[in-house]
C-alpha cells in the first residue's frame, strides 16, 4: 500500500520558513511513528510568477489535483503590487481553491490556556475558547459575475456580484452540520437576510437542510454584523459558525484575533470526496506572507504546524496524532516560549522560528 501523498507549496515571504518547520514535523512522524508521506514540492504565488510568469503553473495545478492533500504557506508581497490583477500572487491561491472545488473552509479559533492573557479581550471571555468558522469558499461575491470597473458617464464604477445557488449553500451547510456532530452539536448560520436576497436564500436553504437531514443538531440564525458583535462580547456561546465567503473572510479574521495572534490559526479547505473517500483538501495558516519579517527568524510556525495537524485529522484519519501535535504546542506555550508576535508578557522566553520548531519536536519526543 502506497504512502499518502502531500504537495507542499511554501509560497512567498515567511511561507518557506514556517513550512521548513512543518517538514521537520512530517519527518518526525515518519521516523518516530511510522507514519510516512510521499512529499513533493512546487511553487505558488510570487515565486511562481518569477519563474513561470504565472502565479500557478498548469503542471502545479495538475499535481494538486492528484495528491491526497496540499499544504500551502503564504503568497504575495509588495514586490508584486503593480502586477496586472490576473497574475497577482493571490490569483494562484484562488485558482487552487476554485479548480479543486474547495468549497468548505474550516477556520478554528482556539485559545490555548497559556495565551488567554495575550488576547485583547478579558481572560474570562477567551479562556478555553474553541470554535470553528465554516466559510463557503468558491462562490459568493469573490467569484460572482458581472464584476469589474466600468465607466458610467464621467466616473468609474466598481462592480462585484453576490451570487449563490441552492446547491452551493446546501453543501457548505452539510459540511457545517457534519462537523458539529463531531463537536458540540451546535451550528449558528450567519448572513444578512434583512437586506440581501442572497441572505434570505441562505437562511431558507440552511434551515431546509437542517430540518430534513440534521434535526439532531441545534441550529440558530444570526445577522452577520450582530455575529461580529457577539464574537467580541461572548465568543464561547458558539461552536460551529457557517457563513458565506465575504462574511466568513471577515468573521474568521476577527475570531483569529480573539486568540491573540494570526500566527496561531490554521485552516482547512475541503472539497467533494475523491475515489478514496477522502475529500480534496488544502491546508494553510490564516496569516499572510509577512514580507516585513521574512528572513529574520521572527515568524511563528505554529499556525502552519497546526494546519498539518488538521491534515492528519481530516484527510488521513489520524485524529490521535493531530491531538499529539496540539498537546505538544500547548506544552511549549505553557513553558513560556514565544515568537515575536506573542511577546509582551513578563516571564516569557523569546525564541526564533527554528527554536519554536525545536521546542515542538522536543515536546513530541516527550509524548512517546
Q: Which of 249, 280, 314, 341 is catalytic?
A: 249
**Which one of 23, 88, 192, 280 is the catalytic residue?**
192
DSSP H or E run through 280 = strand 279-285
Out of 20, 50, 101, 225, pick the active-site residue: 225
Q: What is the largest CA-CA distance in the chain?
A: 70
DSSP string across 94-133: HHHHHHTT--EEEEEEE--GGGTTTSSS-HHHHTT-EEEE
Q: Is 142 a catalytic residue?
A: yes
In 3D space, the residue among 38, 14, 1, 18 whose CA is nearest the CA of residue 356 turns out to be 18
Q: Please identify which of the residues 142, 164, 214, 283 carries the catalytic annotation.
A: 142
- Residue 42 designated active-site: no
| Phi, psi angle pair for 252, to nearest 5° | -70, -35
**Under 8 Å between Cβ of 136 and 103:** yes
Residue 192 annotated to the active site: yes
Cell of 110: 482556539
Q: ∠ CA(106), CA(111), CA(112), 5° rounding?
A: 120
The answer to whether 80 is a known catalytic residue is no
Cα distance between residue 232 and residue 260, in whole Å: 13
Pairing mode, strands 155-161 and 38-42? unpaired
Buried b (16+ CB within 10 A) or exposed e, 67-83: bbbbbbbbbbbeebeee
Which of the following is catalytic: 101, 253, 327, 358? 253
**3-state DSSP helix/strand/coil % of the chain, to nearest 5:** 45, 25, 30
Residues catalogued as catalytic? 142, 192, 225, 249, 253
Amino acid at each position: 500500500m502506497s504512502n499518502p501523498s502531500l504537495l507542499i507549496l511554501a509560497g512567498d515571504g515567511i511561507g518557506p520558513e514556517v513550512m521548513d518547520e512543518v517538514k521537520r514535523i512530517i519527518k518526525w512522524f515518519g521516523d518516530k511513528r511510522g507514519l510516512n508521506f510521499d512529499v513533493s514540492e512546487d511553487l505558488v504565488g510570487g515565486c511562481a510568477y518569477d519563474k513561470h510568469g504565472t502565479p500557478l503553473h498548469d503542471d502545479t495545478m495538475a499535481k494538486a489535483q492528484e495528491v491526497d492533500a496540499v499544504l500551502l504557506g503564504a503568497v504575495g508581497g509588495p514586490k508584486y503590487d503593480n502586477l496586472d490583477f490576473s497574475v497577482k500572487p493571490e490569483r494562484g491561491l484562488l485558482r487552487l481553491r476554485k479548480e479543486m472545488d474547495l468549497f468548505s473552509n474550516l477556520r478554528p479559533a482556539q485559545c490555548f490556556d497559556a495565551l488567554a492573557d495575550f488576547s485583547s479581550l478579558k481572560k474570562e471571555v477567551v479562556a478555553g475558547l474553541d470554535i470553528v468558522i465554516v466559510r463557503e469558499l468558491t462562490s459568493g461575491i469573490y467569484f460572482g459575475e458581472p464584476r469589474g470597473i466600468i465607466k458610467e458617464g464621467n466616473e468609474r464604477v466598481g462592480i462585484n456580484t453576490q451570487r449563490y445557488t441552492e446547491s452551493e449553500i446546501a453543501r457548505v451547510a452539510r459540511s457545517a452540520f457534519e462537523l458539529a456532530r463531531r463537536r458540540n452539536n451546535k451550528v449558528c448560520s450567519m448572513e444578512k437576510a434583512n437586506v440581501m436576497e442572497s441572505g434570505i436564500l441562505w437562511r431558507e436553504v440552511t434551515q431546509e437542510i437542517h430540518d430534513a437531514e440534521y434535526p439532531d443538531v441545534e441550529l440558530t440564525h444570526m445577522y452577520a454584523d450582530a455575529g461580529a458583535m457577539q464574537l467580541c462580547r461572548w465568543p464561547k456561546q458558539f461552536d460551529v459558525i457557517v457563513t458565506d465567503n465575504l462574511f466568513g473572510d471577515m468573521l474568521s479574521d476577527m475570531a483569529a484575533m480573539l486568540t491573540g495572534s494570526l500566527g496561531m490559526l490554521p485552516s482547512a479547505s475541503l472539497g467533494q470526496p475523491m475515489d478514496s473517500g477522502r475529500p480534496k483538501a488544502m491546508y494553510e495558516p490564516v496569516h499572510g506572507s509577512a514580507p516585513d519579517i521574512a528572513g529574520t527568524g521572527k515568524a511563528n510556525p505554529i499556525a502552519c504546524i497546526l494546519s498539518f495537524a488538521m491534515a492528519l485529522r481530516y484527510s488521513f484519519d489520524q485524529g490521535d496524532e493531530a491531538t499529539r501535535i496540539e498537546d505538544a504546542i500547548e506544552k511549549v506555550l505553557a513553558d513560556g516560549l514565544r515568537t515575536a508576535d506573542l511577546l509582551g508578557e513578563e516571564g516569557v522566553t523569546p525564541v526564533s522560528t527554528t527554536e519554536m520548531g525545536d521546542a515542538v519536536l522536543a515536546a513530541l519526543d516527550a509524548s512517546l
